[in-house]
């Protein structure tokens, strides 16, 4: 009897293995996009501006994809200046040469084209793309990026009746070249002129819903300088996803969304049949900007009534507490014990001191919480403190007293070809120095496959948004005061979410944990566009290890670095013609 059971078990196991193997033989689906990038007239705030359009659209077309899809995106640059697109939040798992920033890609020269080849391997969620060079983002060129779950993967909420992308953020009336001239002259950008929702000003965009049905809203802050608060008149929002993670399904009246962040909420049209305001307003600004769009019931008996609902403005504690509420989706233990989920997975999770909703699979059949980050010992701790020094009479920004400047040779190329004298490990301290700020091509050392603990300290009176390019991380701590090793006692090592962008409120300390997956990668601040263009590239954090993790791409002349964010977007670039394409033969930072 035992042998018979054993034989049956082995046969079942063999069948499962064969099915799994056969399922991997076929290649994942391909989706093809052809985009033409042009200038065009836009009127988002009622004033004629020169915008950057993709296939004649502002915002650009939405990318629709499914987990594991291969995306072939051919971009024709019809502008009179170099251009690049970056894919905010999309992880570069199989190809780290396609991220679309200077350092990973050479800029696409005017009149030329480049084809991005991405695979959204093991990913789901709501993201966006944007132009990464110069001040192009201030002219448009951004759009939504949706990665849907495969049909065979369970999603922890019923299918919504519809799916809307909302791209919101602040905006300037000045042309992007005028804004660039302001920064190049050594001044800061002025206060924004207004806010946009999907490229429109107040009440310029309408979302139509049927009464009684539930809809998914994918909301991203694609703005330039400010955090925003999002709310819908008379309606609650059920948070279901944060940058690719199915979150704890809390209900919110409003959500703070910081620069570069994306959220998915479910909204049920359960109110009286009329129209309602969708409201976006600025956070932590002395002057509060507000804009609205319309939630239109298809059987509406009247237009919007009253005034748009007010939202939080300067309430720091409120924003921090909301950020702390973002965790993995869970279900009550009682439901687990009823056998709702697989008992083996349940026991494994009980052994690791928590019970998760294992039906929340994320992009793969295994539970999104099966990676027990809290049980991994950290191998490297880094404290990063931002500052705003004056260097050589100009406003610059620094981390640990170092204001980053790119080397004449891209770091990944220098490493790949063993070019000496380009960078040195330890050229930036692992901890704040308190000393005078200076320019340096800053490179930190780390061990490949090590587990880094990164502490962000923000003494400035603003909100920083920090982003790891092409990677996710776990936000384990968020508190005021000074960090010390004792702070680890307060970390959430059980059920924090994995995301790509985190806000660091003023005088707040943020702690994240990150696996070092690539030989060189970057950590940088998105705090606002002027600092992106001209200053916050000082915030690039390079981890260097001694193990090569990938090979160079075949189109090496176009793609010469892995996850390097040089946010000095080439004031002086000289292109040399090549039989295989255009490559940068020489460039100068034009900074100091």
Q: 463 and 575 share a domain?
A: yes
Residue 311 CA from chain centroid, whole number: 25
As a whole number, mean pLDDT of residues 249-254 equals 97
pLDDT band at residue 10 using 50, 70 and 90 as cut-offs: very low
**337 and 417 housed in the same domain:** no
Closest CA to 480 of 254, 319, 285, 328: 319
Residue 184, pLDDT score: 76
Cβ-Cβ contacts under 8 Å for 84 (sequence gap 6 or more): 100, 101, 102, 105, 107, 108, 131, 132, 133
How far CA 168 is from CA of 228, 310, 343, 439, 568, in Å, comes to 8, 17, 43, 34, 25
DSSP H/E element including 387: strand 380-387
Q: How many domains does the chain have?
A: 4
Q: Above 80 in pLDDT, residue 325?
A: yes
Q: Are strands 194-197 and 227-232 parallel, antiparallel or unpaired?
A: unpaired
Q: Is residue 473 one of the residues assigned to a domain?
A: yes
Q: With 70 as the cut, is the pLDDT of residue 290 above it?
A: yes
My answer on whether 199 and 258 are in the same domain is yes
Q: How far apart are CA 86 and CA 46, in angstroms?
A: 28
What are 76-87's pLDDT values in tens digits?
A: 999 999 999 999
- Burial state string for 93-124 with b = 16 or more CB within 10 A and e = fewer than 16: eebbbbbbbbbbbbbbbeebebebbbbbbebb
Distance CA 52, CA 58 (A): 7
State the pLDDT confidence band at 98, using cuts at 50, 70 and 90.
confident
Q: DSSP states of 42-79 as a string?
A: E-TTSS-EEEEEETTBSS-PPEEEETT-EEEEEEEE-S
Same domain, 178 and 223: yes
Q: Residue 524: is its pLDDT beyond 80?
A: no
Residue 11 confidence (pLDDT) above 70: no
Please count the CA atoms within 13 angstroms of the CA of 411 that sit on its side-chain side: 26
Residue 5 in domain: no
Assess whether pLDDT exceeds 60 at residue 341.
no
Among candidate residues 159, 248, 234, the one with its CA nearest the CA of residue 495: 248
pTM value is 0.82
Residue 13 inside a domain? The answer is no
583 and 513 part of one domain: yes
Residue 205 to residue 215: CA distance in whole angstroms: 17
**Euclidean distance between CA atoms 531 and 466, whole angstroms:** 12
Mean pLDDT check: name the lowest of 67-81, 333-347, 445-459, 557-571.
Answer: 557-571
What pLDDT shows up at residue 94? 60
Which of 102, 118, 148 is a domain's end point?
A: 148
Note the pLDDT of residue 553: 38
Look at residue 139 and give its three-state secondary structure: helix
- Does a structural domain hold residue 256? yes
CATH number (domain holding residue 280) = 2.60.40.420
Per DSSP, 109 falls in state P
Arithmetic mean of pLDDT, 500-513: 83
1 or 108, higher pLDDT: 108
Are β-strands 508-515 and 451-457 bridged in parallel, bridged antiparallel, or unpaired? Answer: antiparallel
The percent of residues in the chain predicted with pLDDT above 70, rounded, is 74
Compute the distance between CA of residue 278 and CA of residue 203 in angstroms, rounded to an integer.
Answer: 9
Give Rg (Cα) of the chain: 24
Across the strands, what pairs with 504? 464
Asked, for residue 20, whether it belongs to a domain, the answer is no
Do residues 452 and 471 both lie within one domain?
yes
Tell me the average pLDDT of the chain: 79
- Going by pLDDT thresholds of 50, 70 and 90, the confidence category of residue 550 is very low
Verify that 387 and 280 share a domain, yes or no: no
The highest-confidence range among 83-97, 178-192, 244-258, 398-412, by mean pLDDT, is 244-258
Q: Which of 89-98, 327-336, 338-347 has the highest mean pLDDT?
A: 89-98
Among 123, 148, 173, where does a domain finish?
A: 148
pLDDT tens digits, residue range 366-385? 666 667 888 888 888 989 89
Q: Is the pLDDT of residue 38 over 70?
A: yes
**Most confident listed range (299-308, 341-350, 463-472):** 299-308
Residue 8 forms part of a structural domain = no
Q: CA 264 to CA 247: how far, in whole Å?
A: 9
- Reference 563, options 426, 469, 487; nearest CA is 469
Residue 124 shares a structural domain with residue 219: no
In a domain, 11, yes or no: no
Instruction: Give me the domain span that covers residue 103.
Output: 27-148
DSSP E strands in 402-534: the ranges are 402-404, 438-440, 444-445, 451-457, 464-468, 473-480, 498-499, 501-504, 508-515, 520-525
Task: Classify each residue of 382-401 as buried b or exposed e, where b means 16 or more C-beta atoms within 10 Å of its C-beta.
Answer: bbbbbbbeebeeebbbbbbb
What does the pLDDT read at residue 447?
75
Per DSSP bridges, beta strands 214-221 and 162-171 are parallel
Q: Are the C-beta atoms of residues 507 and 479 closer than 8 Å to each other?
A: no
| 351 and 383 co-located in one domain | no
Provide the pLDDT for residue 279: 99
Q: Sheet containing 49-54: give its strands across.
A: 49-54, 30-42, 70-77, 113-119
On whether residue 9 sits in a domain, the answer given is: no
Higher pLDDT, 337 or 585: 337
Under 8 Å between Cβ of 552 and 566 = no
- In a shared domain, residues 292 and 344: no
Confidence of residue 509 (pLDDT cuts 50, 70, 90): confident
- Asked whether residue 220 falls in the same domain as residue 302, the answer is yes
For residues 100 and 211, the model is more confident at: 211
Per residue in 213-224, pLDDT (tens digit) is 999 999 999 999
Q: From 56, 51, 46, select the one nearest 201 (Cα to Cα).
A: 46
Q: Decide: 143 and 63 in contact? Cβ < 8 Å.
A: yes
- What pLDDT was estimated at residue 532? 57
Residue count of the chain: 592
**Whether residue 344 is found in the same domain as residue 418:** no
Report yes or no: 523 and 471 within 8 Å, Cβ to Cβ. no
Give the pLDDT score at 76: 99
Q: Which residues contact 183 (CB under 8 A, 6 or more apart)?
A: 135, 189, 530, 533, 534
Residue 591: closest CA among 574, 562, 566: 566
């Amino acid at each position: 009897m035992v042998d018979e059971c054993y034989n049956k078990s082995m046969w079942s196991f063999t069948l499962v293995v064969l099915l799994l193997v056969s399922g991997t033989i076929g290649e994942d689906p391909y989706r093809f996009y052809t985009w033409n990038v042009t200038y065009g007239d836009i009127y988002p705030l009622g004033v004629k501006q020169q915008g950057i359009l993709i296939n004649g659209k502002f915002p650009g077309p939405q990318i629709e994809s499914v987990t594991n899809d291969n995306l072939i995106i051919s971009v024709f640059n019809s502008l009179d200046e170099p251009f690049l697109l970056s894919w905010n939040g999309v992880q570069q798992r199989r190809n780290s040469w396609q991220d679309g920033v200077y350092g990973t890609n050479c800029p696409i020269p005017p009149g030329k084209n480049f084809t991005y080849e991405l695979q959204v391997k093991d990913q789901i969620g709501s993201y966006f793309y944007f132009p990464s060079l110069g001040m192009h983002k201030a002219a448009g060129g951004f759009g939504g990026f949706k990665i849907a779950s495969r049909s065979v993967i369970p999603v922890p909420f019923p299918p919504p009746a519809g799916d809307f992308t909302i791209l919101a953020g602040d905006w300037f009336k000045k042309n992007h070249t005028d804004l660039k001239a302001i920064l190049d002259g050594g001044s800061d950008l002025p206060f924004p002129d207004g806010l946009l929702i999907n490229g429109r000003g107040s009440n310029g965009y309408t979302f139509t819903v049927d009464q009684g049905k539930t809809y998914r809203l994918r909301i991203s802050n694609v703005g330039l300088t400010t955090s925003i608060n999002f709310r819908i008149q008379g309606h609650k929002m059920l948070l279901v996803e944060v940058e690719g993670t199915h979150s704890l399904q809390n209900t919110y009246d409003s959500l703070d969304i910081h620069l570069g962040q994306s959220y998915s909420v479910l909204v049920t049209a359960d109110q009286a049949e009329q129209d309602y305001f969708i409201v976006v307003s600025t956070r932590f600004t002395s002057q509060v900007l507000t804009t609205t769009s319309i939630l239109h019931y298809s059987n509406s008996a009247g237009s919007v009534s009253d005034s748009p609902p007010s939202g939080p403005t300067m309430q720091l504690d409120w924003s921090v507490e909301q950020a702390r509420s973002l965790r993995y989706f869970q279900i009550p233990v009682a439901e687990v014990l009823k056998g709702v989920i697989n008992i083996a997975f349940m026991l494994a999770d009980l052994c690791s001191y928590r019970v998760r909703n294992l039906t929340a699979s994320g992009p793969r059949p295994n539970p999104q919480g099966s990676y027990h980050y809290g049980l991994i010992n950290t191998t490297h701790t880094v404290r990063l403190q931002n500052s705003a020094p004056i260097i050589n009479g100009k406003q610059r920004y620094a981390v640990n007293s170092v204001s980053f400047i790119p080397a004449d040779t891209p770091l990944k190329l220098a490493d790949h070809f063993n070019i000496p004298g380009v960078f040195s490990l330890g050229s930036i301290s692992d901890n704040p120095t308190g000393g005078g700020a200076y320019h340096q091509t800053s490179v930190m050392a780390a061990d490949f496959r090590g587990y880094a603990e990164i502490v962000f300290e923000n003494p400035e009176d603003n909100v920083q948004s920090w982003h790891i390019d092409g990677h996710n991380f776990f936000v384990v701590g968020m508190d005021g005061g000074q960090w010390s090793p004792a702070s680890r006692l307060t970390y959430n090592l059980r059920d924090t979410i994995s995301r790509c962008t985190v806000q660091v409120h003023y005088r707040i300390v943020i702690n994240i944990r990150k696996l070092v997956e690539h030989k060189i990668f970057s950590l940088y601040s998105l705090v606002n566009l002027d600092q992106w263009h001209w200053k916050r590239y000082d915030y690039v954090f390079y981890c260097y290890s001694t193990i090569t993790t990938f090979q160079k791409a075949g189109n090496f002349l176009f793609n010469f670095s892995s996850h390097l964010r040089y946010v000095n977007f080439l004031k002086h670039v000289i292109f040399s013609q090549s039989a295989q394409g255009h490559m940068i033969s020489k460039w100068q930072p034009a900074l100091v």
